[in-house]
């Protein structure tokens, strides 16, 4: 009886996997692109760009993702409606993606910056001696090497994001945790429903972490 309930909890939560994985993957990709831009801004010679990037990172890292998600999902439509426009999100997964992506970017910026500064100084010099502009040197020489360095921390960011997206369960997205909440609301068996949820998360976080470790080792020997 207990195990069949636990199985029901696991199987129900599993239905949220595509949403959780999809949101996490897209968020990490958005985060990577924006994070690269933020990292380049932070390394810029222009004080304004450095300041803007730092401000952004401070704000995002200084507020909980849950609060950001609530502002995006429910706050923004109310703001727009108060201006007399009848508007709502076509689907609440959109603010969720935006929010997680923008959030991830702040963390990714530090990861990317670490990768960029870890590339040997001689690489930039060699590129410049070939007559490359700073921009060409970054694009052709520095960023490709930095990407290799940041692949493992990037994977860890993905694992973190999988867990963090649980907050979206209260911001209108039916992902793994939300499936568990809906089940427990029907059966009142909160234990098996949420342990089922936990097991689904574990299944993915552990296997993906192992995969990253494997990739990290391959990259080192390559």
Binding positions for another protein, rule: CB under 8 A: 120, 122-123, 125-133, 136, 140-141, 144-145, 148
Q: Is the CB of residue 178 less than 8 Å from the CB of residue 169? A: yes
To the nearest whole angstrom, how small is the minimum distance from the Cβ of residue 129 to another protein? 4
Q: How far is the CB of 203 from another protein (least distance, A)?
A: 34
17 vs 147, which CB is nearer to another protein?
A: 147
Q: Based on CB atoms, which residue is closest to another protein, 109 or 127?
A: 127
Whichever of 67 and 215 has its CB closer to another protein, that residue is 215
Q: Which runs of consecutive H residues, i.e. helices, occur in the chain? A: 2-14, 17-42, 47-61, 65-70, 76-82, 93-118, 121-129, 134-137, 143-164, 176-187, 190-221
Supply the minimum distance, in Å, between the C-beta of residue 158 and another protein. 23
DSSP string, 128-147: HHTT--HHHHIIIIIHHHHH
- Tokens representing 110? 């530090």
- The nearer residue to another protein, 26 or 36, going by C-beta atoms, is 36
DSSP 88: -
Residue 130 Cβ, how far from another protein at the closest point, in Å? 4
């Amino acid at each position: 009886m207990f195990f069949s309930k636990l199985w029901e909890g696991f199987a129900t939560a599993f239905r949220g996997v595509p949403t959780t994985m999809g949101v996490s993957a897209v968020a990490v990709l958005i985060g990577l692109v924006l994070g690269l831009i933020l990292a380049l801004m932070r390394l810029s010679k222009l004080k304004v760009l450095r300041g803007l990037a730092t401000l952004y990172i401070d704000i995002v890292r200084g507020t909980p993702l849950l609060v950001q998600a609530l502002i995006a999902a429910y706050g923004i439509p109310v703001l727009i409606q108060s201006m007399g426009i009848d508007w709502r999100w076509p689907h609440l997964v959109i603010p969720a993606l935006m929010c997680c992506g923008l959030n991830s970017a702040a963390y990714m910026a530090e990861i990317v910056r670490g990768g960029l500064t870890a590339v040997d100084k001689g690489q930039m010099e060699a590129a410049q001696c070939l007559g490359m502009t700073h921009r060409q040197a970054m694009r052709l020489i520095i960023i490709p090497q930095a990407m290799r360095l940041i692949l493992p921390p990037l994977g860890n960011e993905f694992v973190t994001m999988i867990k963090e997206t649980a907050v979206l369960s209260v911001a209108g997205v039916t992902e793994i945790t939300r499936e568990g909440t809906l089940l427990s609301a029907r059966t009142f068996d909160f234990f098996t429903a949420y342990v089922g949820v936990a097991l689904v998360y574990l299944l993915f976080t552990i296997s993906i972490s192992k995969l990253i470790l494997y990739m990290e080792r391959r990259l080192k020997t390559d």
